[in-house]
Amino acid sequence: MADILTHVFRTCAAQSGQAPHASGGQSSSRSVLLVGDRGTSRSVLLLAALSAASQGRVKVLFFTRTQIQSLPRSAHTCLPALSPANLKMIKFYYPQTVEELQQQVASLHEPANTSPTTPSLIIVDRLQSFLCTQGGGGGGGGHGHQGEQSRAAHLSALLHDTAAFLTQLLERRTPGLAPCRLLASFQSDPEAGPADPGRPDPVLAVLDRYFPVQCRLERAGGYLEEVWRVNLTGTTEGTDHADAPQEWQLVVSPDGLIEVRSV
Amino acid sequence: MRSFLPAVAEQLFKDIQKTYEEKSQIPDDLLIALKFVFGSCAVQALDLVDKHSVTCLSSPSGRKAFQVMGGSGRLYTCFTSCHYCPCPAFAYTVLRRNEGLLCKHLLGVYLSQAMGLTQQESISDQDISTLLAGGATAS
Ligand SMILES: [Zn+2]
């Protein structure tokens, strides 16, 4: 099974009439960090959740600070087979602070959360909304960037360790659904505008360490409709496929409809 | 904890495990290699192992975590599958300056595992959740 984002982009590109990549290497990456615009990122995360849930047996956990009001409009065009029963496979959590998020993630190993169905996809929307909040000190670990970096490392490590634990559980209970994957999104300080390539974001530098595979969304033009270039990097590690970076294009129309094209 | 270390460090831990099993001590050449790869951390980490400061906690769900008692008696909770330690040295040297691979606590975990000197302790599911989330348990 290709990683969940590759799967989403392939499925969506296929639905919009384009042939899916025949030889686009499959990657065995278990965790992906989606870096880029928050609005579009969130739609992509939701599409990933729906796409996984539409496979029927995959339980998805979706962590976000802000309530989900509606499904992305593209859901029905991308995933025509989606049924209300599938939606029940997604469990939404709405933690308001990083401490709350950490408590929820840390308790996922408890039997109440692993049976009857063991989660096989964990999604965290907008890591920055938990990690980069002003004055949200709490658990110590230093001040300023150092505190943020430490918090980012703790959260990333906790997510990875939890996914590793759930993977072991899945391998024992339902091997076909292993491994448990991890998908998170991050956007550098929105106030700072486009990232300054000379000075990498200190939090992103820490996330890089824990998420070697990243999917970057970059604005590639468009006026009425937005065009985003999607770049999946770092997927070669540990796979037997020598895959080049994979690219797609997301076209977001003014009414929010997303179309995926393979490049 | 795999795949986060360079091959030379992995090999070093394997060699230590093998010789320690046979001789119950670490020969000088491996000690020198350890100091070469990990710097001043190495001695401090060996000291933690000597004092049996590394415990592997496990709960009924099967979840595990390492707990290391620092020199001052403070307890540091570390993960079994990837590198993180809540100590200031990890935040500063490893994360911020990108200058070291591990802090002394994480190195202590590797060494005590290699030398078979990790203590074992069972705790409840709720208690391990609290520790993993960065909190302290009542006990
Ligand atoms: Zn430490």
pLDDT digits (tens, 9 = 90+) for A94-142: 999 999 999 999 999 999 999 889 999 999 999 999 998 654 444 444 4
Provide the residue type at B21 as one letter. E
Per-residue model confidence (pLDDT) at position A140: 43
**Neighboring chain B residues of A150 at a CB cutoff of 8 Å:** 86, 90-91, 95
Taking CA atoms, what residue in B is nearest to A169? B62
> In this predicted model, which residue has the larger pLDDT, A84 or B102?
B102
A25-70 pLDDT, tens digit each: 333 458 889 998 777 888 889 888 988 888 878 899 999 999 888 7
pLDDT beyond 60 at A193: no
> Residue A154 is part of a domain; what is its CATH number?
3.40.50.300
Q: Is the pLDDT of residue A81 over 80?
A: no
User: Which has the minimum average pLDDT: A85-99, A243-257, B30-44, B103-117?
Assistant: A243-257
Q: Please report which confidence band the pLDDT of residue A239 belongs to, taking 50, 70 and 90 as the band edges.
A: very low
User: pLDDT for B68-92, tens place per residue?
Assistant: 999 889 999 999 999 999 999 999 9
DSSP SS3 for A66 = coil
Closest CA to A27 of A13, A10, A52: A10
Mutation target to probe the A interface, by most A beta carbons within 10 A, among B58, B96, B103, B123 is B96
Most confident residue range from A251-260, B32-41, B103-112: B103-112
User: Which one has a higher pLDDT value, A81 or B98?
Assistant: B98
Average pLDDT over residues A132-156: 71
pLDDT at A259: 78
On the question of pLDDT at A210 being above 50, the answer is yes
Asked if pLDDT for residue A22 goes beyond 60, the answer is no
> What is the ipTM, given to two decimal places?
0.94
Q: What is the pLDDT of residue A132?
A: 80
3-state secondary structure of B71: coil
Confidence check: pLDDT of A194 > 60: no
Which pLDDT score is estimated for A190? 57
Measure B107 CA to ligand 1 centroid, in angstroms.
Answer: 9
Residue B127 has pLDDT above 60, yes or no: yes
User: Which residue of A105, A145, A154 to mutate against B (max B Cβ within 10 Å)?
Assistant: A154
The pLDDT-based confidence of B46 (bands split at 50, 70, 90) is very high
Residue A257, C-beta contacts closer than 8 angstroms, at least 6 positions apart: A73, A74, A77
Average pLDDT over residues B60-66: 97
Alpha carbon of B61: minimum distance to chain A alpha carbons (Å)? 6
Option in A107, A142, A202 nearest B88 (CB): A142
pLDDT at position A110 is 97
Asked if B129's CB is within 8 angstroms of A110's CB, the reply is yes
Burial class, A142, CB count within 10 angstroms (exposed 0-12 / middle 13-18 / buried 19+): middle
CA of A30 to the centre of ligand 1 (A): 26
Q: What is the pLDDT of residue A192?
A: 56
Best B56, B81, B97, B123 residue to mutate vs chain A (most A CBs within 10 Å): B81
Measured from the Cβ of residue B18, the count of other Cβ atoms closer than 10 Å reads 12
- Whether residues A109 and B79 touch (CB distance < 8 A) is answered with no
Residues of A in contact with B84 (CB under 8 A): 153-154, 156-158
**Domain containing A177: what range?**
2-262
pLDDT interval class at A183 (50, 70, 90): very high
* pLDDT for res B59: 98
- The torsion defined by the Cα of A17, A19, A25 and A28, in degrees rounded to 10, comes to 40
Neighbours of B98 (CB within 10 A): 11
Which residues from B are below 8 Å from A212, CB to CB?
Answer: none
In chain A, how many domains are there?
1
Q: Provide the sign of the torsion angle of the four alpha carbons B31, B34, B40, B42, taken in this order.
A: negative
Whether the per-residue pLDDT at A15 is higher than 80: the answer is: no
For A149, the closest of B81, B96, B134 (CB atoms) is: B96
> According to the model, what pLDDT value does residue A139 have?
44
| pLDDT value of position A21 | 37
- What is residue A12's predicted lDDT score, i.e. its pLDDT? 61
